[in-house]
Structure 1
Amino acid sequence: MNDIIAQGRFEEIDMSVKIIFEWEVRLEQQAIIMHITSKWKENNKKIRTKSFKVNKSKDYDRIAFSYITKNLQNFYEEES
């Protein structure tokens, strides 16, 4: 069972490309996992989802933003 703990969303415009980042934190098998999905704003097509383990926090928004900015290039490459 996956219980959603928190979720949020960012919009980023980089080099005239609009990307939406949606994030969600879930409790999955005793671990807290953050999933961040990037989508092209124009057609809402999913580009990539990154998932990683996080500690319990009161500021998941900051964790997501920090991860996105450090790994921004990885979110531009479409999943095949």
Structure 2
Amino acid sequence: MRSEFLAFIGNYSYSTYLFHVFFTAASRITAKSTGINDIWLLFILGTTLGTAGPILVEVVASRYDITRTLLLGKRSANRK
């Protein structure tokens, strides 16, 4: 059994590993400051943003060689 959705997320596992903490913490702090205290809602927000945020970071950072190297530790796209 193969899940295309999980395979898609798996392609971004390194950036998720690096950046998830920033997005999960930001979602929790923002939600709590707006009065959201429901544990399940905090869990869903944290999981969603902790996964989607790093994917967005990688997509944007991969466009430029300097951010690709500094944020993701990947070689320049022009290098062979």
Q: TM-score of the superposition, structure 2-length normalised?
A: 0.31
* Larger Rg computed on CA atoms: 2
Higher RCO structure (Cα 8 Å, ≥6 apart): 2
Q: TM-score of the superposition, structure 1-length normalised?
A: 0.31
Which protein is richer in strand relative to its size? 1
Which protein is richer in helix relative to its size? 2
